[in-house]
Amino acid sequence: MDTFTEVMRELKTRRKEERWKTYDTWKRSCCCPECPSYDECASRGRELLYCVLGMSNECIRDDKHCICPKCALYPVLGLSGKDFCMKGSEAAIRFERSVE
């Protein structure tokens, strides 16, 4: 089993309150605010952790690069995609790949 699947499986066993705490911890390591694509709207909405929580609903629409592969969480979560703020979470990207 790959790392991302393992991490998600483990997360699924936890109560949602605990999951939110985990998300908050992960958000502290998210380097999206340092990315050229990250804008003021996303900052105002305190949007972070797109790789897990999904795409930016209304803010980021201008692709100016993605620094996710350099994020400390990238190997920890076993990510394989990028541009999560524009394409959706790792899980969503994996699903899309599976139906290609």
Residues 10-69 that bind ligand SF4 (CB under 6 A): 30-32, 35, 37-38, 49-51, 60, 66-68
Residue in 4, 85, 88, 93 binding ligand SF4, rule: CB under 6 A = 85
C-alpha span between 63 and 47 (Å, rounded): 16
Rounded to an integer, what distance in angstroms lies between the CA atom of residue 87 and that of residue 74?
A: 16
Axis-axis angle for helices 90-98, 3-12 (nearest 10): 120
CB of 12 to ligand SF4, least distance (A): 19
| DSSP code, position 71 | S
Structure tokens at 1: 């089993």
Size of the site for ligand SF4 (CB under 6 A): 21
Residues that bind ligand SF4 in the complex, under the rule CB under 6 A: 30-32, 35, 37-38, 49-51, 60, 66-68, 71, 73-74, 79, 82-85
